[in-house]
Amino acid sequence: MNDKITQAIEQVCKQLFDSDVVVALERPDEQFGDVATNVAMQLAGTLGENPRQIAEKIAAGLRETVADMVDEITVAGPGFLNIRLSDQELWKATQHSPLQKYAGQKIVAEYSDPNPFKILHAGHIFTTVIGDAIAKLLELAGAEVHRVNFGGDVGLHVAKTMYIVLQQFDGENPTKLADIPEEKRSEWIADAYVKGHAAYLDDEAAKAAIIELNKCVYQLHADDDHDSPFAQIYWTCRQWSYEAFDVFYERLGTKIEKYYPESETTELGMEAVTKHIGDVFEKSEGAIIFRGEKYGLHNRVFINQQGLPTYETKDVGLILKKYQDYHFDRSVVITGNEQEQYMGVVLKAIEQFLPKLAQATTYIPHGMLKLTGGVKMSSRLGNIVRANDVLDITAEALRESGHKPEDYMLLAAIKYAFLKVRLGRDLVYDPKESVALEGNSGPVILYARARARSILKKAAAAVDTSNNTALEANERSLLRKITEYTEATNKAIEELMPHNICTYLYELAQDFNRFYEHNRVLGDPREAVRLRLVASYADTLQAGLQLLNITASDEI
């Protein structure tokens, strides 16, 4: 619909002024019309004419070419061109056709990134929900999306965990693994990490032992060792971590199709970095570094003094590995913004020897998750808020408000709360507010949808889809709001920011509530048309919720 109007305006401008302006349509205040454009003001500069006069000329031309689609075309203010569509065109506009910005593209979306040998913390649930919503947006825009994550199965944190495990097992005794009950595995690993981390900080001997273990873990991978007692413990613990991730993702309603462990990216990374010592990387104090300061960035170590790859090199390997596996058109990487500058350095380094891969990468940083009261959650400290804690405090909030903490409601509350603020901002999470039955919350949207579905179920009349019934002003107003879904999703796609969807859904629900309060549907002479409105409204809410990966229910 908008395409036709846009084309018509461009055509008229071409005919009248021989101008090739690109027309951008906006959504004006309702009193002015359904769509508007400021082309006349743009043209005024180049043509040296009064923008209002230009607008009048364009309006006259348009009245000829799009007469069948519009009710009224007016000129207002400094030269805005306002167009009021016909009812039929508005109905057509409820058939949403999202911007196909990524049509036919294969996109690898990396997010969540939990580390095996550690526990999932609150930040992971946040980043996973955000990553999921972005993946959904990419799919809506026509992409084939592959969801992957990246986690450290080698490195100091692994050595810290293994140090305590070995202590508890009285050495390399894999048979002791059987003593750990299945349901206690992730807690047990988490606990070992926390203790290992503390030992590393407090105890010099432990620190030395952990550094040694770190090398052992790298060696284990180099040797492809699956048989030694040490290796058996290592691989089993890694597997247990991955199983815990599977459970977590399933509960959140997502599926990560591939877990990239760092161990599988080190070789490719080392190869690439080593190959470019001299032209891209350089030696410094016994390490191999990238001199980011040449580009206004930080210098970073890629291979440390012991000859081991740092995270930087593993990330270089990761992008190569992803490309080997998928031959993607675009790689989207989503992480917390504390890594933003780090990422800048890695991408700049990659740009030096693989410019195409760097250009095909979209990095999306998001903010930090905080609890009400401003408590920040750290992944390094032992006293962290765990991912499950977030689910638990939300369940508790539901109970306190007198509701069953069913998962669909729990997740709707959490996901919506996480997604409703502009991407990039820190989020202050208030579980009470997230489950609130009023205000801009997930449960409110769920309820709004359930209510609309209930009306439709009770309806006796057939829905009037004829376009023969002229709409009343308040009906038309609601319909207009429903058609805005397309703009909301397009904006979300364009910016890759899901909060646009939340903002819109809430506005829509508010508008509907107002309409519904003052207009009867069932039993009213206008029931048939109004049912069509209610159905369209319910469908729109449903589409929006799906985009946010929120599951709705008809019975609440």
Cα–Cα dist 381/409, whole Å: 31
| Sequence-distant (≥ 6) Cβ neighbours of residue 410 within 8 angstroms | 391, 394, 395, 398
Q: How far is the CB of 555 from RNA (least distance, A)?
A: 6
Backbone angles phi, psi at 398, to 5 degrees: -65, -45
- The pair of structure tokens assigned to 252 is 């959140």
Report the C-alpha dihedral over residues 251, 252, 254, 257, rounded to 10 degrees. Answer: -70
Nearer to RNA, 255 or 514 (CB): 514
Nearer to RNA, 286 or 355 (CB): 286
Sole residue written with tokens 């069932």: 522
- State which of residues 238, 276, 300, 480 lies at the interface with RNA (CB under 7 A): 300
Please check whether residue 256 is in contact with residue 299, taking contact to mean a CB–CB distance below 8 angstroms. Answer: no
- Closest by CA position to 485, among listed 469, 501, 506, 467: 501
Q: How far is the CB of 183 from RNA (least distance, A)?
A: 26
Please, which of residues 91-110 interact with RNA by CB under 7 A?
Answer: none
Q: How far is the CB of 20 from RNA (least distance, A)?
A: 18
Supply the DSSP symbol for 369. E
Q: How far is the CB of 91 from RNA (least distance, A)?
A: 20
Query: If you write DSSP's letter for every residue of 436-484 in order, what string do you get?
Result: -SSSS-HHHHHHHHHHHHHHHHH--SPP--SS-SPPPHHHHHHHHHHHT
- State which of residues 12, 125, 350, 427 lies at the interface with RNA (CB under 7 A): 427
Q: What is the side-by-side order of every strand in the sheet holding 330-336?
A: 258-261, 144-151, 106-110, 330-336, 361-366
Instruction: Convert 333-351 to b/e letters by CB count within 10 Å (16 or more is b).
Output: bbbbeebeebbbbbbbbbb
Is 516 a binding residue for RNA by CB under 7 A? The answer is yes
Nearer to RNA, 140 or 501 (CB): 501
- State which of residues 78, 201, 222, 462 lies at the interface with RNA (CB under 7 A): 78
Nearer to RNA, 183 or 555 (CB): 555
Nearer to RNA, 177 or 522 (CB): 522
Q: How far is the CB of 304 from RNA (least distance, A)?
A: 2
Nearer to RNA, 145 or 490 (CB): 490
Output the 3-class SS for 371-412.
ECCCEECCCCCCCCCEHHHHHHHHHHHHHHCCCCCCHHHHHH
- State which of residues 450, 461, 528, 543 lies at the interface with RNA (CB under 7 A): 450
Q: How far is the CB of 144 from RNA (least distance, A)?
A: 28
- State which of residues 76, 198, 375, 543 lies at the interface with RNA (CB under 7 A): 76
Please, which of residues 277-296 interact with RNA by CB under 7 A?
Answer: 284-287, 289, 296
| Sequence-distant (≥ 6) Cβ neighbours of residue 548 within 8 angstroms | 133, 136, 415, 416, 419, 498, 501, 502
Nearer to RNA, 89 or 262 (CB): 262
- State which of residues 430, 464, 484, 539 lies at the interface with RNA (CB under 7 A): 430
Q: How far is the CB of 239 from RNA (least distance, A)?
A: 18
Number of residues that bind RNA (CB under 7 A): 87
Query: If you write DSSP's letter for every residue of 347-368 in order, what string do you get?
Result: HHHHHHH-HHHHHTEEEEEE--
| Max intra-chain CA distance, the chain | 89
Nearer to RNA, 84 or 145 (CB): 84
**Which of these ranges, 1-9, 119-127, 153-161, 247-255, lies near RNA under the rule CB under 7 A?**
153-161
- State which of residues 341, 359, 465, 474 lies at the interface with RNA (CB under 7 A): 341
Angle between helices 204-222 and 156-168 (to 10 degrees): 110
Measuring CA to CA, how many Å separate 257 from each of 145, 158, 426?
10, 23, 28
- State which of residues 424, 462, 494, 546 lies at the interface with RNA (CB under 7 A): 424
- Cα angle, residue 409 at apex, residues 109 and 150 outer, rounded to 5°: 20
Is 18 a binding residue for RNA by CB under 7 A? The answer is no
- State which of residues 139, 329, 396, 554 lies at the interface with RNA (CB under 7 A): 554
Please, which of residues 202-261 interact with RNA by CB under 7 A?
Answer: none
Q: What is the side-by-side order of every strand in the sheet holding 427-429?
A: 375-376, 369-371, 427-429
Q: How far is the CB of 169 from RNA (least distance, A)?
A: 23
Q: How far is the CB of 420 from RNA (least distance, A)?
A: 6
Please, which of residues 32-71 interact with RNA by CB under 7 A?
Answer: 32-33, 36, 38, 41
Cα–Cα dist 461/531, whole Å: 8
**Which of these ranges, 4-12, 219-227, 472-480, 505-513, lies near RNA under the rule CB under 7 A?**
505-513
Q: How far is the CB of 208 from RNA (least distance, A)?
A: 13
**Which of these ranges, 162-170, 242-250, 450-458, 474-482, lies near RNA under the rule CB under 7 A?**
450-458
- State which of residues 294, 438, 466, 468 lies at the interface with RNA (CB under 7 A): 438
Q: How far is the CB of 309 from RNA (least distance, A)?
A: 8
Cα–Cα dist 317/264, whole Å: 8
Strand partners, 148: 110, 258
Nearer to RNA, 107 or 544 (CB): 544
Please, which of residues 365-394 interact with RNA by CB under 7 A?
Answer: 368, 376, 380
Supply the DSSP symbol for 172. S
Q: How far is the CB of 8 from RNA (least distance, A)?
A: 18
Is 431 a binding residue for RNA by CB under 7 A? The answer is no
**Which of these ranges, 13-21, 240-248, 268-276, 518-526, lies near RNA under the rule CB under 7 A?**
518-526
**Which helix (H) or strand (E) covers residue 260, if one does?**
strand 258-261
- Closest by CA position to 364, among listed 133, 547, 143: 133
| Sequence-distant (≥ 6) Cβ neighbours of residue 517 within 8 angstroms | none
- State which of residues 503, 536, 540, 549 lies at the interface with RNA (CB under 7 A): 503
